[in-house]
Amino acid sequence: MSTTFQLDTSTSRANPTPAPMKRLTVPELRQRKADGVTQMPIVMLTAYTARQAQLLDAHCDLLLVGDSLGQVIYGLASSVPVTLDMMIAHGAAVVRGSYHAAVIVDMPFGTYEASPEIAFASAARIMKETGCAGVKLEGGEAMAATVAFLIRRGIPVMGHVGLTPQAVNVLGGYNARGRSDAEAETILADARALDTAGAFAVVIEGVVEPIAIAITQAIACPAIGIGASAQCDGQVLVTDDMLGMFDRVPRFVKVYENIAETIGSAAARYAEDVRQRTFPGIEQTYQPRKI
């Protein structure tokens, strides 16, 4: 059971719900895939704020507090500069704004790669300070021992293979991965290593479709695709991308709304009201006393 907070939109305050509510759990989501088949695909979106989480929560199985907040929220060039403090602050907000979905928080670059012990210290802080259900980290065979170390110590882990944004400086960009036989074999081996280590799910990002399908069929845990294949066990997108908040989005993103245009239009109408002095005010009730 999980006590959460709901955002009162009239006051912008987060208030405790009157009774604890049951969230989806990591074991429940892991069990969605049985004998290599996931009957009900897993729905996952990113969330960075309490209000965003509140709006997405009823429709999602998983909410990912992604380190993509570096670009989406902070205007950074990549996710590499994102800090642990950033992830914890936003992770706690998303947990407060949700009650149904399991919340997973990305471990930012530099907080887990050096050793399993350092990874545990970072992950334990995330879990304690946010109340999330688990963490996500990038890397395959190189991180498998760390994944197993965390899981044995009570921290659920989601893996991430293929196009790994934190390694953009090594990869040389955000191009699709798995085009060569050697690279495809490496990505498949990475996913298998994470599965064997005990990851409850693996994100497959930016991988050519035949490889994504092969990975989905090869691992026992759910494979969550992003720019991979509709045949994965679930899908994740950056919410701001699929809402049309940016002029440019990855080619694989289906844009469901044009929220940027809506916001721009509303701001323009507001600006016109202010400049024309037609902005509505509070009804005048004060009457000066006659002398």
CA distance 141 to 11: 48
Closest CA relative to residue 45, chosen from 101, 83, 89: 101
Return d(Cα 147, Cα 156) in angstroms, integer: 9
**C-alpha to C-alpha distance for 126 and 142, rounded to whole angstroms:** 22
Structure tokens at 268: 């323009």
Given 138, 141, 205, 261, the catalytic residue: 205
Residue 194 DSSP SS3: helix
Strands (E), the chain: 5-8, 13-16, 33-34, 37-38, 42-46, 62-65, 102-106, 134-136, 157-162, 201-205, 223-226, 234-237
Between CA 16 and CA 250, with CA 62 as vertex, the angle to 5 degrees is: 125
| Distance, CA of 122 to CA of 120 (rounded, Å) | 5
131 within 8 A of 95, measured Cβ to Cβ? yes
28 is catalytic: no
Residues noted as catalytic: 205
